[in-house]
Every structure is written in C-alpha cells, then in structure tokens.
Amino acid sequence: METKNIYFISGIDTDAGKSYCTAWYARELMQRDLRVITQKFIQTGNTGHSEDIDLHRRLTGTGYLPEDKEGLTMPEIFSYPCSPHLAARIDKRPIDFEKIERATRELSHRYDTVLVEGAGGLMVPLTEDFLTIDYIAEKQYPLIFVTSGKLASINHPLLSFEAIKNRDIALDTVLYNLYPTVEDKTIQEDTMKYIKQYLSKHFPGTKFEVVPEIV
C-alpha cells in the first residue's frame, strides 16, 4: 500500500488533545492549498458516528463530507469507551483491519493528504497481541506525535520517542499542544524547550509545531 500521503497521528495519552491537534493541523495544511481529509481509524464510545470526526469537521469548517457519509473516515466504531481490544471484545466482533486499510487507501486516492487519528497513545492495544505502534510500523506511516506542557507530561513523550526509534518509525512532526490555556507557563515553556533540544539531537529531521488554541 502506497503511504506517501498518509500520516498517522498519535500522542502521549488519551487526553493529549489528538483530535483537537488533528483538526488544527488539517486546517493548517488546507491553508496551503492542499486537499486534506482526516480519518478516525477506530472510534470507541460511539454508535453510528465518530465524535472525533464531528470535532474535526467543526474546527476545520468543512461540514460533513461525502466520505463521512460513506463511512470511509470512520470505518470501525465500537460502543464502549475504552481501548480498542476491549471495545471489540465487549461488542463481540473483531476489528476489521482490511476494512480500515481499504478505507484509508480510498481516501489517499481522493485527497492530497490523509491524517489518520489513532485511539489513545502508542502502546494502546488493538488486539491482545497487536499494539497501535505495531500497526504504524507495519503500515510504515510517518508519525505525527501530539504532546503538551501539562504537569507530568515530560516523561511520556521521551518514553514514546524511545519506542518510536526502536521500531524505526519515521517521526515526521511533533505537535506541542498549548490547549487548554494555563496561567502559569513555567512547566509548559521549559518542557517545550527540553523536547525541542531532545528532538534536535535524536530526531534532527523532525518538525516541531506549536498548536495554539483555535479561536
């Protein structure tokens, strides 16, 4: 499968702001005259729709797209809000990875760039013996990684960077999420400085983008 225009978006945890940052990044690319679409490859905690896709469309201002109605942007939806491996078990059906791949491939044919948002962090299990990071490595998708400057967030990206390097995943971009706004920016600013220095040493080709609050 050709992956040159498909990017996977993951983050430090389920509260890193992946959906917000996915929408922001899509909007930034759209402003560069690129045809961009987002996909939530596995949505949990919903029935019949993806709340993350709803957020993407609202923040990018595109409204609901034909591909949303076709189900291409939300190919797998499970009802219970938990990790995909458990959600699939609760709904008593396995994740259809072939269906996901067909949908992603079709989107890549229709658009210049496809942003595939993951569920939770890199180590979230998709099955009992297959993690999200394994999926990214298998598909050879370049990774866009979301982190932030909230308290205790410096440890998580560094552990994630180690895992990324160990699996030879291309770390394309780090999105540093400033949302939600905090009054005391001491930790936020120092964490940003530290991560930028770490990337320059260990991932010199990786881009670093600061994600402001969308207004």
Q: Which pLDDT band, with edges at 50, 70 and 90, does 1 fall under?
A: low
Bridge partners of 171, per DSSP, are 143
pLDDT at 211: 96
Residue 138 lies in a domain: yes
* pLDDT of the residue at 180: 74
Query: According to the model, what pLDDT value does residue 42 have?
Result: 98
Task: List pLDDT tens digits, range 25-35.
Answer: 999 999 999 99
**CATH (domain of 84):** 3.40.50.300
207 has catalytic annotation: no
Q: Is residue 137 part of a domain?
A: yes
Determine the average pLDDT of the residues in 16-23.
Answer: 92
Number of Cβ within 10 Å of residue 187's Cβ equals 16
User: What's the pLDDT at 215?
Assistant: 57
pTM: 0.96
Residue 32 lies in a domain: yes
Least confident stretch, 54-63, 118-127, 132-141, 177-186: 177-186
Let me know if residue 1 belongs to a domain: no
User: What's the pLDDT tens digit per position in 144-191?
Assistant: 999 998 877 899 999 999 999 999 999 999 999 998 777 888 999 999
Note whether residue 12 is domain-resident: yes
In a domain, 130, yes or no: yes
Can you give the residue range of the structural domain that contains 38?
6-211
- How confident is the model at residue 140, as a pLDDT? 97
Q: Which of 40, 69, 185, 196 is catalytic?
A: 40
Q: How many domains does one find in the chain?
A: 1
**pLDDT at res. 201:** 98
- Average of pLDDT values for 83-90? 98
Q: What is the pLDDT of residues 42-80, one digit of tens each?
A: 999 999 999 999 999 999 999 999 999 999 999 999 999
- pLDDT higher than threshold 70 for residue 114: yes
Is there a domain that residue 16 lies in?
A: yes
Q: Is residue 38 assigned to a domain?
A: yes
Q: What is the dihedral of CA 154, 169, 204, 37, to 10 degrees?
A: -90
What pLDDT does residue 182 have? 79
Averaged pLDDT for residues 100-125: 97
Average pLDDT value for the chain? 95
* pLDDT band at residue 133 under the 50/70/90 scheme: very high
Strands 36-40 and 143-148: unpaired
DSSP the chain: ---TTEEEEEESSTTS-HHHHHHHHHHHHHTTT--EEEEESSEES-SSS-HHHHHHHHHHT--S-HHHHHTTTS--EESSSS-HHHHHHHTTS---HHHHHHHHHHHHHH-SEEEEEEEEETT-EEETTEEHHHHHHHHT--EEEEEE-STTTTHHHHHHHHHHHHTT--EEEEEEE-PSP-S--HHHHHHHHHHHHHHHHH-TT-EEEEEPPP-
**Which pLDDT score, from 0 to 100, does residue 151 have?**
75
